[in-house]
Structure formats: structure tokens, C-alpha cells
Structure 1
Amino acid sequence: MVGDIKNIVVFESLINERLTGTEIYNETIVKKIDLYKKSFTHKLYSINSKNELIELLKYYDYNSTHLIGGILFHFEMHGASDYSGLILSNGELITWKELTNLFRPINIKVCNKLFITMATCHGRYLYKGIETFEKTPYSGYISANNAIYPSEIVEKFTILFDRLIENGNLVDARLLMQKTETNFYYKDTETAFEDSYKSIYDKLMNNEEYKANYIQGVKIQAKKDRQPIPDAETLELIFQRALKDSYHKHKKAFEF
């Protein structure tokens, strides 16, 4: 079932402020696992630098095949104000592209059972790190549209993790959290792909030079094949079909 989780990993990188990740981990994750007597693996990492985070994600890449069931990575750190990635407690930036490149080999090894939750401002822009001609880096993620505050983080993710640990399914837990009028929402890999590919499609559709070069190529090929050169309407249809073919090729490469 999509969203089934057996392993929870919390990455926290905060300083001189409320340690929401530690609070949620100690007060909800650990206590609820003990209370419900569940067999989750769980770990909290308090990290200070980009390199620490990278090395931890590489560690999970190496060891992911030994983890049974879905994996949830939960991030407690700040989002960059320019929507470019996450900010570590020492001020370093790790971009969305860098993160997705670290997630991808893990997700491949666990057969698309890696999920991401982000208690960060502007976390929805994680999709910007997607490379549409490569396999999806995660099955889905929960993030915020805009700025969020520590009290909201603790309140909403307490609801989410309580339900997740009770029944083991992130998608179901998200539905319960969503009923509380939260700023956090779930995006699956399908939607993330569509959002990412849309920018590519729009650029190709509106790039007159690209279109002209493609159509010129069709004409040249027709001459080589000693075929009649298509009229303008047919050339437009050929171009539209090429864009659709490109979409399907990207999606086939992206999906499992």
C-alpha cells in the first residue's frame, strides 16, 4: 500500500530557537512507538552543516537495502527565502537539486518507498530539484506552501506522527492532519513530475527559435526522403506530437 512506513529518520538543524524536531521525536515518535508497541526503526540526528547531512544521506543510501518497509525522512530546518533549498544551522545552503540527487539512489533501492516530510518554510519547492529524465527521487512528500511557525510545526506533526505510528500509513496520517486546516499538504510523485515537466513544456511551446529549428529539420528530412514537404498545418501537428512524445519519454524514464 502506498505510504506504508516502517522507518522514521528525523534530521534537525536548528540553533538558538525551539528545537521542534527534538520535541516531536521525544514526545511523540518515541513515546507513541512504545505506547502502541510498534516495530518502527527510528532515529534523530542533530546536525550543523551541509556536509553532515550529505554524509548521513549517503549512509542511508548504503544501508537502505537493510531497512524493511517504507522510509520516512523528516526535515526540521529552515527553507531558503529564495525558495532554492534548505538552510543548515551554520548558514549553509543545500539546494533542492542536491537533495533530490541524494534521495534518488535511496528511493531506487527501496523500490519507490521513500517519503519526505518537511517542517520548513517553502518546502513545496522541493519539486524544483527533479530531473524528469531520471527516476523519481521519492514516492511523495509533505511540505508547506509558505512561512510556518514552531507552534504550528509541533501541533500538526504531532497529529501526523501519532496517526502514522498508530496505523503505519503516511497517506492516511496526512488525511487526518489535513482536516485540521493545515498549511502542510501532500504531493505524490506523479504531481511532482507534472509540476516539474510543465516548465519544460512551456519553454518548448513558447520558444519560437526551438520550434522553427524543429520544423526546419522536418522539412530537411522530407527532402532527404524525397517526400512532399508538409504544409503549415501539418507541420504544426507534427511539432505538437513531438512535444507529447517527449512528455511520454520523460515520464517513462521517471516512473518505476
Structure 2
Amino acid sequence: MKRGIKFNAIFILQSLQDDERHTGSEIAQQIKYACLQRGIESMDELINVNDRTTFFEVINNITDSIAHGVKPYLHFEMHGTSSGGLCLSSGQTISWEELKEPLRKMNVACKNNLYVSLATCHGANFLDMYKGEIDKPCPFFGYIGASTKVDAFDFEVSFTSFFHAMLTKDSIANGIKSLLESLPDNRANYIFLDCEIYHKELMKNWEKEYGSLEGKTRYSKYLFQRAKKEYAHVGKSNRQMRRELDRMVFSGYTDDYLAQCKRIFLHETNG
């Protein structure tokens, strides 16, 4: 992926126990060093988040800062689970579902320029929460995460290599290359996706899930549940909404509809 650096602040959100190695702090030092090598001001912003309240306050504050010229990169240094999401040092958790809209809001604010990386075990499960939402803006431009359980040392080695190469060579592609080469046989099974590749993957899964008659019934029910939450204020009854959604779904998805969904997903329209 050939793209220069489009951000000016790397926010490292760290939530680790006192007796653990604070890998986020080590990576922040590497970022300082890489910026010094390039002769630019350091981009690192290390933030310790211990509980849910602080976590979401930090996310909202970063989003608000975009209006003042900040172009954020988000990096998470905390524990993760195979299904639940993020684990904070307080013992509280944040599900992937809860993280979805705050990140989407941030990416919309920075005009589809948000990179997100997760030094968390099973961080690739982060991607599963968007499977049905082909008609909403993607929550990131680029994503990096591990699909398996990874130890802290491997994460530190990998992301130290990634940030150093990316910053000194002004290239996301070089950073990804260094990340993948940092461990023997890519044993962390790192995944990198940009929003265009992610859209293609989502559409493959979407066609399998919702292309059949039974699938269309499920998709209509899914859209109906969303509509009840998101459009309750428009004054339509549940019966009206369900009838309109069934008509749209069972009459077939037109090329125009899917093309419009793609434009929205890739932030190519205000719709």
C-alpha cells in the first residue's frame, strides 16, 4: 500500500497492570527516537487508561481535537480476549461492539484518515463487529491486529519495528513490511486491511450470508432492528418500516443501491 504518513499524532492508549512490562511506554520511546532521526517533532501521545470512563473520555477528546488540526493514529496496548474485546487494568472490559461507533465517529471527523493498530491478543476479532453494515462509513482507513494470542515481548518487537520503519521512511508500506518480518514465520498472524480491501471482504461475506431467500429474510429483520433504534423519531410505525424494508430487500438489491453503499462505506459521499 503506497501511502505516506497522513497523521501528526500517535495516541498510544495503554492499560496494563503495574507488575507488567509497559510495552506502550517502550514503543513511545521508539517513536520519539524515530522522529528525532527524521528531524521532526515527536508524534507520540502516551495515555494510561485504567477504567471505562477514562477510556471513552479519551476517545471523545481525541475526536474533538480533530477540529483543531489533529490527525490521529490510534494504537492500543492492553489485553484482549477471543470474543469479548478489550480488558482494562481495572478489570473492566470494553466489547468490540461498544468501540464501533466511537471509532466510526472519529474516522468520519478526520475524513477517512484513521489508522488503528491493536497490540492485543485476538485483535483481529475487532473486524467481526461490522459484518452486516455495508451501508455505513468504515470506522478506519487502515487496520493492524493479530489474529491469535501473542505474548508481550512479541508485540513490543513487532510494533517497535513497525513504528520505526514507518516514521523513518515516511511509508505505511515499509512499516507493514517490517512488522511482518519482525517475528519468525509471522507467528503472530498479523492482519493488515485498508478500507477498500475490507469492503471487498465484507461484500463476499455479505453475499454468502444474505444472498439467498432465507438470507434476505434475515437481512430484512436485521435492518428492521436497526431502523427501530436509529429512525424511531421519523414517525413511522413498526409495520410501515417493516413493509418498506421487505419491499426493498425482496425486490432485489440493485446495482445502484450497492454502489451507493460502497460510496458511503469508503467515505466518498456525505450520504
TM-score w.r.t. length of structure 2:
0.75
Aligned to 2:148: 146
- Which of residues 197, 203, 208 is equivalent to 1:202? 208
Aligned to 2:26: 23
1:178-226 superposed Cα distances (whole Å, 9 cap, x missing partner): 2344322311112323334444433322453846xx9xxxxxxxxxxxx
Distance 1:122 1:207, change over 3 A: farther
Aligned to 1:108: 108
Aligned pairs for 1:1-256 (under 5 A) are 2=3, 4=5, 5-15=7-17, 16-26=19-29, 28-67=30-69, 70-82=71-83, 84-130=84-130, 131-180=133-182, 181-182=185-186, 183=188, 184-208=190-214, 210=216, 242=253, 246-256=257-267
Identity %: 25
Query: Hey, what's the Cα distance between the residues in 2 that align with 1:247 and 1:93?
Result: 35
TM-score w.r.t. length of structure 1:
0.79
1:152-182 superposed Cα distances (whole Å, 9 cap, x missing partner): 1111111111112212332321123223443
Query: Hey, what's the Cα distance between the residues in 1 that align with 2:170 and 2:52?
Result: 30
**1:128–1:196 contact (8 Å) kept in structure 2:** no
Query: Hey, what's the Cα distance between the residues in 2 that align with 1:190 and 1:90?
Result: 36
| Root-mean-square deviation (Å) | 2.6
Query: Hey, what's the Cα distance between the residues in 1 that align with 2:67 and 2:3?
Result: 18
**2:82–2:125 contact (8 Å) kept in structure 1:** no
Query: Hey, what's the Cα distance between the residues in 1 that align with 2:119 and 2:16?
Result: 12
Distance 1:51 1:194, change over 3 A: farther
**2:12–2:45 contact (8 Å) kept in structure 1:** yes
Aligned to 1:225: none
Q: Aligned-pair distance for 1:241?
A: 5.5
Give the secondary structure class of the aligned counterpart of 2:112. Answer: coil
Q: Aligned-pair distance for 1:81?
A: 2.8
Query: Hey, what's the Cα distance between the residues in 2 that align with 1:144 and 1:23?
Result: 19
